[in-house]
Structure 1
Amino acid sequence: MPKVHIGQRIESLSLPGIAGDFDIGNLGGKRYMLSFHRFAACPFCNLRIHQIIQQHDRFSTNFQMIAIFDSPIDHLREHASQHHAPFPILADQHNVYYRKFGVERSLWRTLVGAFKRFPTVLYAIFAKGYFPNSFKGNITTMPLEILVNEHNLVEHVHYGRDEGDHLPIETIINFSHAKAPFDGTTRPTPISSSVA
């Protein structure tokens, strides 16, 4: 599958969400992040949503977070509605956009991530209550995060190395407050994707 690249234009994205149908064409010139997750009951994914919500007030008002899950919409509502997220949480049950944007899958990296981030998954399950009691979606999906500017042009792409590998939240906050450095005629400076 082709991967997303810097400077690529995001032409369209329309999916059902827990709060209703979503169309990216209605963002009205906002910056945004497309964040692709695994199945709806994934502990890593739900912890990430929780962390984003905790920091949401620090994002620019001209920025929109968009979370996408590999799950049927009814199953996603069952697991994600508890977050009361102030941003769209969408269901791509048939992996239309997972394929379009080259979301990766890897059993080996899933196993490595589960071992390397074992304390994190224990915290997600036992401290936060994100227990993976059902699996409707692919468990080997790797995260993908795409930062897109006001012109619908990709400024940064982060393909996760394992199921818990995400962009630092500070990087997303800084992006949300920035101005578009290019309109498609020049190349942007890549954003660092280093994580702790």
Structure 2
Amino acid sequence: MQKDDHDHDHADVRETKAMPGFEPMKAITRYELAATLFALVTHIEAAASQPRRSPREVKPGRKSNTAPDPTKAKRFSDVPASHWAAKSIAGLNARNVARVSTSAFEGEKSVTGNEAAVWLEGLAAWVEGRPSKARSAREFAAAGYVPQTDPLVKKATQPIAATEVSQALVRVIARTQEKVTTISPDSRFAK
């Protein structure tokens, strides 16, 4: 019997574990989605304030010359100013991205497919400089952001996983890049 070149008795076998707190298949909470979308919004605003690098560069189509004042955004009774997600929530509300109709934000609540779709459509509307329209995952899909078979539509009233929201967010980013190609001459982004 021929012996192989490897010394299996001394092989270093390691057990791999997921990063603590990273659970992409777990339902995403309102706090988590708010923080994720606000990070993207602030990145877009920072990139848009940089000098243009090419004539085809995509910039948000907002008509406002200044970022909205988050202190004038809707306040939620259950989100103190010291909360880790308070700035994200206020920033998204000031931009009409995250719409919550109650006086409580209920940040630990899992986001449903409908909620995720409405927030993502709010993000697209903000980028495109238009009023937000979608009120459900079906309307979001009808507008062409995701297919009718998307988990946001299929699980409209059920909690949605972080990976499912991420996949829809990628589609929104791709779609807004296709649609937003011009900048209003009076925009601060045109400079």
Same fold (TM over 0.5): no
Please state which band the TM-score falls in when normalised by the shorter chain. 0.3 to 0.5
Q: Which has the larger radius of gyration?
A: 2
Looking at secondary structure, tell me which structure has more strand per residue.
1
TM-score normalised by structure 1 residue count: 0.33
TM-score normalised by structure 2 residue count: 0.33
Looking at secondary structure, tell me which structure has more helix per residue.
2
